[in-house]
């Protein structure tokens, strides 16, 4: 039988933003536990939690100072146990984020490394270049902007591909391997069902640390021949992680993999490496038939090359929300709803970023509330990712919309989100939330959604082998529907035809 994750619908909860149980304005683990019935009613089979380990929060949890404990902002270990138990009681698996490329500069290893130059070998420290060593060891830039090297008091430099508070680990050091094994087992033994692996294409660095081509730098992208990423030695690390995971046969790993080309991507999904890999083709495609079709074919091909299940996502905590990407306002929303049906019609695992099921737009936040390190590191030229991380609106007519008992939410919530709350959407049979619920229920319950392939009937209509047909209209005029019984549409039909910016499922 196919493993549970190969066709699961995962819900990505960004813990800061999902629900706040203790009134500090920041979401937490008990907030998620309290609302598990919401996720059960949505029909998802698994949860992915962005990092909840101990962290100074320079990058909101992606800077981990203790990988085997929960940050007090989110709760404690008993709170995680409560969440896992309550999720399992509802048939929902729980996966966590694992951050192996770097740790926090507050991690005890790094604190020791700073204090004592003889204890630096678990990180990537180098002398500077130039007569007085005052220039960084190479020209690498940080993904968040600025140089990828920071100089310490005694003159040496350390590498950080992200923020300076996120020093990269030296994955040639055996203790780094031992420690990740401890971390994996720690959570798996507590009943966690797997991990989303952050920057799975990072970790290994070329021994000579050659200069990069500076024209190639782009936030969260990877071009061919970028020496910072996708070095072949990374696969030994994934094989190591897999040997640990194999002791827990039902557990899954899904890697965040930004690499150049399907062949490089597929390497990460070989039978002794990761189970699943995020493929971001659909996130990058505009709402345009040819591009969407190409993204789907490409992702299917990449997964097929490795014999792995494909994965689909329209958004996550790093990219602008789909409603805004597709044009914002009612057009953006209609397109996002259409794309929800497209993604939920596809074979493989589907990831829903919290709030996508409510059709939330990206939020234009004022400069003074921005928190993403990208903002400062880019010299305030890139606004960063806060706009897709605004807390979820649950009920009521004004901020904080039931997210928290405090009106001081960690990012301000737009005053006009009343119609977008869960409460309001549950009252409206045509809401995005109801659409998602119906779609997930059909996807999970109906036999027409089985099979691993798709056959294109035209450039915006595909068929699953067991009978589901999904068609979308990215054009400007209504189009005829294919033959069959209509199961669901993302918006009303017009005289039996499919209007622009709409999708339909038929059997
Ligand atoms: C990944 C995460 C992102 C984080 C970065 C550094 O790309 O998705 O949110 O900032 O890694 O850990």
- The structure tokens listed for 14 are 């960004």
Q: CA-CA distance, 204 to 222, in Å (whole number)?
A: 15
> Rounded CA gap, 296 and 84, in Å?
33
Q: What is the per-residue pLDDT for 279?
A: 86
Neighbours of 456 (CB within 10 A): 12
Find the catalytic residue in 71, 97, 179, 198. Answer: 198
Name the 3-class secondary structure at 98: strand
Identify the pLDDT of residue 116.
97
**214 to 164, 227, 320: CA distances (angstroms):** 19, 11, 25
Q: Whose CA is nearest to atom 2 of ligand 1?
A: 198
Of 100, 86, 98, 96, residue with least CA distance to 47: 96
CA distance 71 to 76: 7
Beta sheet of 194-197, edge-to-edge order: 276-278, 252-256, 194-197, 93-98, 46-49, 9-13, 349-353, 311-313
Output the pLDDT for position 224. Answer: 73
The pair of structure tokens assigned to 55 is 């962290």
**Measured in Å, how far apart are the chain's first and last C-alpha atoms?**
25
Question: Of ligand 1's atoms, which has the minimum distance to the CA of residue 163?
Answer: 6
For 284, other C-beta atoms within 10 Å of its C-beta total 12
Q: How far is the CA of 388 from the centre of ligand 1 (A)?
A: 14
To which residue do tokens 């234009």 refer? 364
Q: Which two three-digit tokens encode residue 2?
A: 């196919």
- Residue 303: HSE in the Cβ half-sphere, 13 Å Cα cutoff: 26
How many A from CA of 187 to the centre of ligand 1? Answer: 20
Which residue CA neighbors atom 12 of ligand 1 most closely?
A: 62
**219 CB burial (10 A radius; 0-12, 13-18, 19+):** middle
- Over its length of 507 residues, how does the chain's per-residue pLDDT go in tens digits? 899 999 999 999 999 999 999 999 999 999 999 999 999 999 999 999 999 999 999 999 999 999 999 999 999 999 999 999 999 999 999 999 999 999 999 999 999 999 999 999 999 999 999 999 999 999 999 999 999 999 999 999 999 999 999 999 999 999 999 999 999 999 999 999 999 999 999 999 999 999 999 876 665 555 678 999 999 999 999 999 999 999 999 999 999 999 999 999 999 999 999 999 998 999 999 999 999 999 999 999 999 999 999 999 999 999 999 999 999 999 999 999 999 999 999 999 999 999 999 999 999 999 999 999 999 999 999 999 999 999 999 999 999 999 999 999 999 999 999 999 999 999 999 999 999 999 999 999 999 999 999 999 999 999 999 999 999 999 999 999 999 999 999 999 999 999 999 999 999
What's the CA gap between 238 and 276, in Å, rounded? 12
Cβ burial 329-363 (10 Å sphere, 16+ → b, else e): eeebbbbbbbbbbbbbbbbbbbbbbbbbbbbbbbb
- Cα 198 to averaged position of ligand 1 atoms, centre (Å): 6
pLDDT at 222: 59
Say which of 256, 273, 322, 372 is annotated catalytic.
Answer: 256
198 is catalytic: yes
Candidate of 318, 351, 376, 387 to mutate for ligand 1, largest count of ligand atoms within 8 Å of Cβ: 318
Q: 438 with 488: CB under 8 angstroms?
A: yes
3-class SS of residue 157: strand
* CB-defined site of ligand 1, < 6 Å: 59, 62, 99, 162, 198-199, 220, 256, 317-318
Distance of CA 200 to the CA centre of its chain: 12
- In the reported structure, the alpha carbon of residue 199 is separated from the centroid of ligand 1 by a whole-number distance in angstroms of 7
Strands (E), 198-291: 252-256, 276-278
496 exposure class (CB count in 10 Å sphere: 0-12, 13-18, 19+): exposed
Query: Does the annotation mark 256 as catalytic?
Result: yes
* DSSP label at residue 63: S
Contact 144, 378 (CB under 8 A): yes
Closest residue CA from atom 5 of ligand 1: 62
CA 131 – ligand 1 centroid, Å = 35
The number of the ligand 1 atom at minimal distance from the alpha carbon of 62 is: 12
């Amino acid at each position: 039988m196919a493993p549970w994750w190969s066709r699961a619908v995962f819900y990505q909860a960004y813990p800061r933003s999902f629900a706040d149980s203790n009134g500090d304005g920041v979401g937490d683990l008990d907030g998620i536990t309290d609302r598990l019935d919401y996720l059960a009613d949505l029909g998802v089979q698994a949860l992915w939690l962005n990092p909840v380990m101990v962290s100074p929060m320079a990058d909101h949890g992606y800077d981990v100072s203790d990988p085997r404990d929960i940050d007090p902002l989110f709760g404690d270990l008993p709170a995680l146990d409560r969440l896992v138990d309550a999720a399992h009681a509802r048939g929902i698996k729980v996966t966590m984020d694992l951050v192996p490329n770097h740790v926090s500069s507050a991690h005890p290893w790094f604190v020791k490394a700073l204090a004592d130059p003889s204890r630096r070998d678990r990180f990537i420290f180098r002398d500077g270049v130039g007569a007085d060593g005052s220039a960084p060891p190479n020209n690498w830039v940080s993904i968040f902007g600025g140089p990828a090297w920071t100089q310490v008091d005694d003159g040496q430099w350390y590498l950080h591909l992200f923020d300076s508070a996120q020093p990269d680990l030296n994955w040639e050091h055996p203790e780094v391997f031992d420690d990740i094994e401890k971390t994996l087992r720690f959570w798996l033994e507590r009943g966690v069902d797997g991990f989303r692996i952050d920057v799975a294409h990072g970790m290994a660095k070329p021994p000579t640390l050659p200069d990069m081509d500076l024209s190639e730098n782009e936030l969260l992208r990877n071009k061919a021949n970028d020496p910072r990423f996708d070095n072949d030695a990374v696969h030994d690390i994934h094989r190591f992680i897999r040997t640990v995971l194999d002791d827990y046969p039902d557990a899954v790993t899904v890697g965040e993999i930004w690499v150049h080309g399907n062949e490089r991507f597929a390497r990460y999904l070989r039978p002794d490496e990761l189970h699943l890999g995020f493929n971001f083709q659909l996130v990058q495609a505009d709402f345009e038939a040819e591009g969407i079709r190409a993204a789907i074919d490409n992702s299917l091909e990449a997964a097929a090359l490795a014999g792995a299940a494909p994965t689909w996502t329209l958004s996550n905590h790093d990219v602008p929300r789909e409603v805004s990407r597709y044009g914002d306002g009612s057009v953006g929303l209609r397109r996002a709803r259409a794309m929800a049906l497209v993604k939920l019609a596809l074979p493989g695992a589907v990831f829903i970023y919290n709030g996508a099921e409510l059709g939330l737009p990206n939020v234009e936040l004022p400069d003074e509330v921005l928190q993403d390190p990208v903002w400062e590191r880019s010299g305030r030229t890139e606004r960063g990712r806060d706009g897709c991380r605004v807390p979820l609106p649950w009920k009521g007519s004004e901020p904080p919309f039931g997210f928290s008992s405090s009106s001081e939410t960690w990012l301000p919530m737009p005053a006009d989100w009343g119609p977008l709350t869960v409460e309001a959407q549950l009252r409206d049979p045509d809401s995005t939330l109801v659409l998602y619920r119906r779609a997930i229920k059909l996807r999970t319950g109906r036999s027409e959604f089985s099979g691993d392939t798709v056959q294109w009937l035209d450039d915006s209509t595909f068929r699953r082998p067991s009978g589901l047909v999904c068609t979308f209209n990215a054009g400007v005029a209504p189009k005829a529907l294919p033959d069959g019984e209509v199961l669901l549409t993302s918006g009303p039909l017009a005289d039996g035809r499919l209007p622009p910016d709409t999708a339909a499922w038929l059997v």
